[in-house]
Structure 1
């Protein structure tokens, strides 16, 4: 059985990324399902290992073909950007630049087909900008680096999957940006991702924009009729199980109880809020539409607890599980 090679980017070295990476790679069963390696800084991983009480060694490599993929030693493509003793929990332009470099190297390996998926530890947007890389986050950075014109963010929590039509823009800008073509392409990306993961005919619920999905024109200015309904009808014409626009408040409840496999959220907070209520610690962020599988933890750098050895690795382990599931079904 082929075991996919999963490249784990270390994230912001001042955050909890190095700690959750070392904790996650302590799971022996992980190596029975994939071949993980880290793109980051070997010295920082060793420091994090000491903080979390890990007995794992760190195997320094320069390319994928040097990796041993054996439990007990973390294979690390070492970019050697973080000096020894660099403080945890403090915003740093150096760490922001390094986080970018880890992603850049991962994309190079993915485009060369040396890895099967990318799993990212969290970065800090302010540190990223201070380091000279002006992106709203991982999603936009990966799109630029892979030359992908349009991608979507999918969040996965226990009992709930959500994909976003718009993400890191203001609410008024989001409403202006939403149009049938974008809604339809978002549904397409979500549908194709779930089919690849083994769900043959995903049941998809589409949120409205206004309260009660506009309630037949009572709320809003006809946004549902203009921006969403044409896309839903086009999906239904393809024979897909797509329903909407539906009131977001009840749609998320119905999805969590099993009525839908995927929710289409119209804007950032409409989708993020329910996912984080359902399971922040086990949440996963998947970038959909890239030429490479990419999953991520659904939490931030947590500077307030970084360096204390107490960060929870649950979301990283779940992100790795999702990467494995999607990577093994590629092509």
Structure 2
């Protein structure tokens, strides 16, 4: 039996493997989850060491007996060959009704048949108020595609460390290159998301002979941007890097991110009713307005300012 995708992994297959694992764990079906692992799979889960599917099933059954209304989000960090590094967070409450959020890192190693043969997980958690929960979907099914992931929710390194007391050294175990390597992985994740959710849909719409398709493509871009930045409650990490000392390290990546966004939007607008010069101006103004509104909304602690600014961008591009 094989369990695609199989190693060696590229970014697409690694991300698919991560999403499949997330969906499986969100079923809270220990027997089903255990089928993703080899018969003799080795686990380190927190301070517990287990070997083999029977022990994995027993551990997961104990876990989900005490972790109620469990919801999990996983995110790809890095990959190479038959290995994948993942970060994750999940929320649950105990039988007293107290809610918790757990944060963790995992190292995965796969056999040639696509089954995981080694899983090393470090996990810390902290109590949270019910009002502070971030994961909201029907727990009887997987996380919907339009529900934000960890980056979109703003679960960055400093916030995770502050929330759990997890030392930076523990997180650096996954990244021998330190902060620079972490930042490269985060930027690569952002680039992959915007490429599939923003840039490519804009280009696809622009290549349509139907002007209505172009307008729909621009509207979908703005919808995706609103979801990604959580209606102004999250920051643009690329923008943060552009303003900080990180810019010198990642100048080309940062420049490419904004250039590609503006170019894709301008190209779409030229296929509508705008001249190339006007389309370029509108695209630059739109991206600038989105970035500025994010800064303003965060500074004023008023996400509605971002929502209003995005509405004005919609009107101008419409």
| Higher relative contact order, structure no. (Cα contacts within 8 Å, ≥ 6 residues apart) | 1
Q: Same fold (TM over 0.5)?
A: no
**Bigger Cα Rg:** 2
